Amino acid sequence: MTPILRAALLLSVVAATLAQLPKAFPQRTRGAIHSSAREIDRSQPPGERLAVISNDDYNGLYFNYYIYPRPTRLYRNLDDYRLDEKHPRTIVYATERARVMPYAAIRAEQMNGFIATPSYAPAGTHFIVPLAASFDGYPPASYTTEGWLKGRANATLTLRPRGLVKTLTINGAASFKDLVYENFGVLESGWVEVASDAPLQASFALVNRGTKSATPIALLRDVPRRPLRIASGEKLWLVNTTADPASATACGAQITLPPYAIESRAATFPCDVTGAYAFGSQKLPDGGTRFTWPDWR
Amino acid sequence: MAGLAIALVVFTLAGAYGPWEERYLRGLAIAGTAMFVGGVAGVPVMVMLAIVVVVAIGHAGARARRPAAVHHEPARPRARAPLATAIMLLPVAIIFAASLTRPLADFDGRVFWVLKAKAIAHEQSIDGPFFRGETTWDPRNRYPLLMPLNGGAVMTIARDLDDGQIRGMYALTFLALLLVIRRRVNPWLAAVVAWIPQFVIVVEGGATSAYSDIPMAAFAACALFDIVSISGGGTGATACPRGEPESTGEGACPPTGLGAYPLTGLGIWLAALTLTKSEGLIYAAVLLVAAAFMHRRRIVPAAALFAVAAASLIVWRTRVPQTDGEDFLTRLPVLPHNLHRLLPALEGVARHAFDVTKWGFFWIAVAICIVIALRRGQWLSPAILGAMLSVFIAVFMVTAWPIDDLINSSVDRLLMQLTGPAVLILSASARSR
């Protein structure tokens, strides 16, 4: 190689490097993932294993790196976490900054967008959402109740049978990707009583976010007195909407329901029910749910 | 800074003899290999390191007591190209400054390599709970451990698992590679390599990262330089009689390894290649075949060292679970069915090699010089470069990944590993037949 060619070669690499040098090595600190990992390490009992769930392919691995040698178990998502029977109790959600968070909070933070489309119906000033669920089943099943309220009113939502209460001021519209968790801060199933000082329009749907399926929930404005007939389903749901124990007869069996209780049981359909509100449900192969509402009008 | 000093002292001592750059690289190679082989045998890694350092000091002392005519210490390089050296050192200074003041920012370095170094420093073992998957998730759990072992040793001595302790070790490795090229090939080509953006600027795999590609490049270069310098080779390198003092510049005569067994030194580089990255096993085999072709039975000591390293790697891999990562060897049978990927793979390699923003005119010049070298009948370095290149062409052909994704994420780093044969080809083209 002649000196001229060598100089040309040298110039080419020097020029290419100098052109990019001003933008090189921009990072002066290790970032929030490092500092938060150190904070979490200090805050947790020595040697306690942490579950790490990340919002992408990188942050969990970086957290894992910075918090070593503390034992960890990495999960790609909440489904994997649920599948692991030996999962650590303490969960770290690793995003740009790692945080120790409860399962439900991570679940809520990861919930993007609605699955169902609202189909409003007049709901008056007092109605019941007979099934309100927020729980995760065998992956990918992840159930929430999506809800929409339209109108201008002060509304009180009560989660039954737990009795948790949430008061809302609705100025035009309100919507919930997860009615139960967003309003009551719990992952559980029950039914919701809604009372308002002005009439509302409402729409609710049971959603399986894992399979992106949604099934409308029929609102209950008045519990019928006469017997209900449930035509089909796999599961019979019985709801005691009163503050007193209810003696119900379902498919020929005598049942006592505690106040505000909701119970489910396998049943032979068609099934006649007296003394409680009832509906049927059937899980579909695609992960969705089909409800059978009582024929009582 | 403590880590830098520890790496400098420990690996220079472990390297036993020769000019600093080769002592340092040999120190990395011997220490890492010994800790790995010892680790497979159940010996704590720091015990192996201590043994290596003590033996190396003893060996160096014995050499120093021999008459000067008997041991073949290479002479200091002539101060022939101070300007080239100064130009070479400028980016090195930048890299040291960045390594010592900026945090480690690359993905593989943190997630794959330094995590393993931390685990080795913490557990003092290469098959402890970490590598058995009992404490945490270790991506690429079966990656060879030479550099994590060396990094872990530095962390252990520093009593600190912070990655800042081993940044200096990687920067020193780059400096040593450049100095080897400067001494054994050409100072101006060392300056060229020092300024290649892929080495200086690129965060993922560059000299400020904790990837293992620059150590691979250094070990491969040292192995190749030993092969051609001992034989005279077909690269245009001058045949050097044993014991002739080393000189810088084209046609240099490099040091001759371990005295009466020059190719034992080659074996150390081959073992290090085998234990540095997965592809190193095949690179080492390629270089061993080249050495066997030129040196016949004299390669036996080198082959033995290579065999010990390879066997240790295989045994260790049977003990630790594979967590993720693609096992390319098991996919080789699909190669005949994937011949349609050959052209895209070649095109991908060429696209990256000829990207002047990452390589300047380096690989363009190498491509031209390969033609010149082949016309002159200088086949060794082009053949070795071609063989090493064909390893990753084959990987691109059999991968289950989208081929473009794998090429884009790896080919520039793999090209870095070919620096040794590339600079020999460039150097050889300068000479008349």
Residue B73's pLDDT is 47
The amino acid sitting at A235 is: K
Instruction: With a cut of 70, say whether residue B253 has pLDDT above it.
Output: no
Residue A229's H or E segment, with its range, is: strand A228-230
A231 interfacial to chain B (CB closer than 8 Å): no
Q: Could you tell me which CATH number the domain at A118-221 has?
A: 2.60.290.11
> Of the candidates B130, B141, B119, which has an alpha carbon nearest to the alpha carbon of residue B45?
B119
- pLDDT tens column, A104-131: 999 999 998 999 999 999 999 999 999 9
A46 touching B (Cβ < 8 Å): no
Would you say the C-alpha torsion B189, B190, B195, B196 has a positive or negative sign? positive
| Residue B77 CA from chain centroid, whole number | 22
The alpha carbon of B163 is separated from its chain's Cα centroid by a whole number of angstroms, namely 21
Query: In chain A, pLDDT over 70 holds for what percent of residues?
Result: 99
Span B258-309, pLDDT tens digits: 444 567 789 999 999 999 999 999 999 999 999 998 887 888 889 999 999 9
Q: Where are the alpha helices (DSSP H) in B82-186?
A: 82-101, 107-108, 115-123, 146-158, 167-184
Q: Provide the pLDDT for residue B260.
A: 47
The answer to whether the CB atoms of A13 and B122 lie below 8 A apart is: no
- Residue B20 in tokens: 């600093």
B60 in Cβ contact with B295 (< 8 Å): no
Confidence of residue A6 (pLDDT cuts 50, 70, 90): confident
- Output the average pLDDT for chain B: 87
Neighbours of A222 (CB within 10 A): 11
Tens digit of each residue's pLDDT (9 = 90 or more) over B148-181 = 999 999 999 999 999 999 999 999 999 999 999 9
Banded pLDDT at A269 (limits 50, 70, 90): confident
pLDDT digits (tens, 9 = 90+) for A15-46: 999 999 988 887 778 889 999 999 999 999 99
User: What tokens appear for B288 in the block?
Assistant: 């061993």
Q: Which of residues 53-112 of A touch B (CB under 8 A)?
A: 58, 61-62, 64-65, 68-69, 71-74
Phi, psi (degrees; rounded to nearest 5) at B38 = -65, -40
Q: Has residue A258 got a pLDDT over 80?
A: yes
d(CA B303, CA B298): 9
Q: Mutation test of the interface with chain B: which of A9, A20, A29, choosing the one with the most B Cβ atoms within 10 A?
A: A9
Question: Contact A10/B197, CB-based, under 8 Å?
Answer: no
- By the CB < 8 Å criterion, does A27 face chain B? yes
Average pLDDT of A205-216?
96
pLDDT (0 to 100) of residue B247: 38
Residue A221 has pLDDT above 60, yes or no: yes
Residue tagged 């031209």 (tokens)? B368
Domain map (residue ranges) of chain A: 3-109, 118-221, 222-297
Arithmetic mean of pLDDT, A236-247: 94
Convert the pLDDT of each residue in B392-403 to its tens digit: 899 899 888 888
Phi, psi dihedrals of residue B204, rounded to the nearest 5°: -85, 95
Q: Tell me the CA end-to-end span of chain A in Å, nearest whole number.
A: 97
